[in-house]
Amino acid sequence: MPKTKYTGVYSDANGKFFYQTELGVDKATGERIQCKSRKDQLGQPFATAYAAHKELIRVKHEYQLSNGLINYNLTYDEFMAQTYKPYYRSIVEDSTWNSRQSTMKILTDRFGKMKLRDIEVGDCERFRIWLLNDSGLSQAYSSLVYTMLRTTLDYAVTLNFLSSNISKRTKAIPKGKAVVAFWTKDEFEAVLSKIYCEDFYEHMCFVMLWVYYMTGIRVSEGLALWWSDIDFGSKKMRVHHTLDMRNQNDWTRKPYTKTVEGMRTISLDDDTIAVLKEWQAVQEAHGVKNFVMSATGKPTYRSTVMKVITRYAKLADVVDIQAKGLRHSHVSYLINEFNANVLHVSKRLGHSSPEITLKHYSHLWSRGDEELAAKMSGNIKFDSATESGVDFNGNQSIKY
């Protein structure tokens, strides 16, 4: 059976993946305990060797749990390196794993040398206060760090390294409300006026900003767009992929979006269709294919989106927004220009419900009550008093 690059993971003659390993020795019979499967814990066949690898790691940890492999002298650093990190790597996407490295480093820097059993409530509370007051981190990121501490200790409880998670005796750190800056229609027009589309790369920058602003797709969804996702005939854009990119030679175009509801089809306006048709022709003239947002034929870095925004925001003298600010800009555009209803906006953004949309964007719905205000005008009728009927006295008396 052909091996894969993952230990214990193989493929059969039909190209189907499975894992096979030995977990240990049965203490009663002395026989080796072998484990083999072609499906994950939900009964789904493995689509990739990596998926089988992740499941194999999970199974090994389940075996450790059931056999009570406990080390009472384990330090937090050892627990993270030997137990939690392999487990966490097996249950999250590569992009999440990479983005959480700095978070886990903060935890190991703080608690690494301490024995897992010696971490006390006071240690957790001092860490929580440090995150909020002295770390220099945003409240949202501090919340993420402290939540991960709680999660790691929860896992230690699950594996019987600890009897309880003492960090839960302290308060959680709320994320706080993040205000995301966005571009108004006038600001977006000012930005577009600073882009020289006769230059091939600048033309790509124009298309990038236009598509994000006019569709509201997520950054990774836009970077994953291929021309096969654009149907010029029906004026539709299929959003069914996200880009997971290490570098331009090591990337994955994942066949799913952030959420199930994110798998959607968006209607495109005539202007966007015209912009895309022209750009496709320009790309072909330069020998570039597949990726819509590319000037080389290779995928574009996520950081490039931020650099493009910053460059032209400065030239147009408008606020420098985050990449996700273009998604907020799209919502603001739909509401303020067309008074779009929340259901249509929700479907366009790929949210599971209008409630999710309102949770994040309700502050943008500043319109819609004009008709009420017009009806209220002149509705209250009364005659003003011709003289005062109140007899003021004491310190509250004001005389003119």
- Between 304 and 259, name the one with better pLDDT: 304
Q: Which residues of 195-207 are buried (b: 16+ CB within 10 A; e: fewer)?
A: bebeeeebbbbbb
Mean pLDDT to the nearest integer, 61-69: 61
pLDDT beyond 70 at 400: no
pLDDT at 199: 95
Beta-bridge mates of residue 17: 11
What's the confidence (pLDDT) of residue 388? 73
d(CA 376, CA 367): 16
Distance CA 30, CA 87 (A): 28
Would you call 21 helix, strand, or coil by DSSP?
strand
Highest mean pLDDT among 73-77, 160-164, 212-216: 212-216
Which pairs from 252-257 meet CB under 8 Å and 24+ separation?
252/94, 253/224, 253/226, 253/299, 254/93, 254/224, 257/218, 257/221, 257/350
**pLDDT of 275 strictly over 60:** yes
pLDDT in the model for residue 22: 82
* Residue 221 near residue 257 (C-beta atoms within 8 A): yes
Tokens of 275: 């912009």
State the alpha helices, DSSP H only, in 286-395.
302-316, 325-338, 342-349, 354-361, 370-376
pLDDT above 50 (res 134): yes
Going by pLDDT thresholds of 50, 70 and 90, the confidence category of residue 72 is low
Q: What pLDDT does residue 376 have?
A: 80
**117, two tokens:** 């059993």
Predicted confidence (pLDDT) per residue in 191-224, tens digit: 999 999 999 999 999 999 999 999 999 999 999 9
Average pLDDT (277-296) is 96
pLDDT band, residue 69 (cuts 50/70/90): very low
Average pLDDT, the chain: 87
pLDDT at 295 over 90: yes
Token pair recorded at residue 249: 């030679």
- The pLDDT score that the predictor gives to residue 280 is 97
pLDDT score for 29: 59
Residue 211 neighbours by CB under 8 Å, 6+ apart? 217, 222, 225, 272, 275, 276, 292, 293
- The yes-or-no verdict on residue 271 having pLDDT over 60 is yes
| Most confident range, picked from 55-69, 159-173, 197-211, 347-361 | 197-211
Helix (H, G, I), strand (E, B) or coil at 291: strand
Average pLDDT of the residues in 105-119: 94
- For the residues of 235-255, what is the DSSP string, one character each? TEEEE--EEEEEETTEEEEES
Residues 6 or more apart whose CB falls under 8 angstroms from that of 37 comprise 18, 19, 55, 59
List the one residue out of 116, 180, 202, 186 whose CA is nearest residue 320.
180
Beta-carbon neighbour count of residue 136 at 10 Å? 8
Distances (CA, A) of 355 to 87, 257, 266, 345, 360: 33, 20, 20, 11, 9
Kindly report, residue by residue over 76-87, the tens digit of the pLDDT: 999 999 889 999
pLDDT > 80? residue 73: no
Provide the percentage of residues in the chain whose pLDDT is more than 70.
Answer: 90
**Rounded CA gap, 308 and 197, in Å?**
14
For the chain, domains (ranges, CATH) are 185-363 (1.10.443.10)
CA contacts within 13 A on the Cβ side of 385: 4
Report how far apart, in Å, the C-alpha atoms of 170 and of each of 49, 73, 108, 138, 147 are.
41, 25, 19, 19, 11
Of the two residues 187 and 360, the one the predictor is more confident about is: 187
Q: Look at residue 303 and tell me whether its pLDDT is greater than 60.
A: yes
